[in-house]
Amino acid sequence: MLNEVESSAATPRPPLIGTPRLRCAGSRAKRMLDIVLSAVLLIVFLPLMLVIGLAVALSSTGPVVFRQTRVGLGERPFTMLKFRTMHHNTSVGLVDLLQADGHQLALRTKPRHDPRITAAGRFLRKGSLDELPQLVNVLRGDMSLVGPRPCEHVEHTTLSPEDRVKRVSVKPGMTGLWQVSGRSTITAEKAIQLDLRYVDDWRLRLDLLILLRTLPAVLRTRHAW
């Protein structure tokens, strides 16, 4: 289904949402979809989230929910929520870990075998279950169900001024083109290109296509770590 999106992005075309009135109407529809779906999903997944919270608490010491500042709409910072998947106050940093493993340091680099991740955390990451608390971020308006990846400030500052403005012109999302295009296997550069493509090609139909493709992408756990 996303082949249509990818082929259309390769050829220049006029904006899909042309007039300010239509852009505003599209934004309202997107926000309504976010509110309704995130509320429903929170109710549906609440029992599972309680079980996950208990598993995280029993598997290792530390807070159940991990909070981290990310760059949001209009470069406004917000606190993103996730279930904790790493050992609390680990002494091994990502830079040290990558260098010890012979990797070149790159933004968004994720080592496949990260000793900082707990046993429960590894399972949660496989199915993206650690991201369920972000439904709260969506419900309160920090994020959208679909959008660019919520990046950290250090990654955001590496972009060109034009790309920075474009990337934060919409809310970051729980899922997006990056999620349905390879998850952990895509490079940082490719992920940024997908984020920018999403902004250029946005329409409500694209959000619905991505949402439909997210579950199969999550179930293909070979692309996640």
Ranking 20-34, 42-56, 61-75 by mean pLDDT, the lowest is: 20-34
The model's pTM: 0.80
Domain assignment of residue 143, yes or no: yes
Per-residue CA distances from 76 to 72, 101, 180, 195 (Å): 5, 35, 26, 18
Q: Is residue 197 part of a domain?
A: yes
Boundaries of domain holding 120: 31-223
**pLDDT, mean over the chain:** 81
Does residue 25 form part of some domain? no
Tell me, yes or no, whether 163 lies in a domain. Answer: yes
76 belongs to a structural domain = yes
Mean pLDDT within 131-135: 97
Would you say residue 104 has pLDDT above 50? no
The answer to whether residue 110 is domain-embedded is yes
DSSP string over 178-213: TGGGTGGGS-HHHHHHHHHHHHHH--HHHHHHHHHH
For the chain, the domain total comes to 1
Q: Within a domain: residue 16?
A: no
The residue that leads in pLDDT, 24 or 188, is: 188
Q: Give a yes or no: residue 114 inside a domain.
A: yes
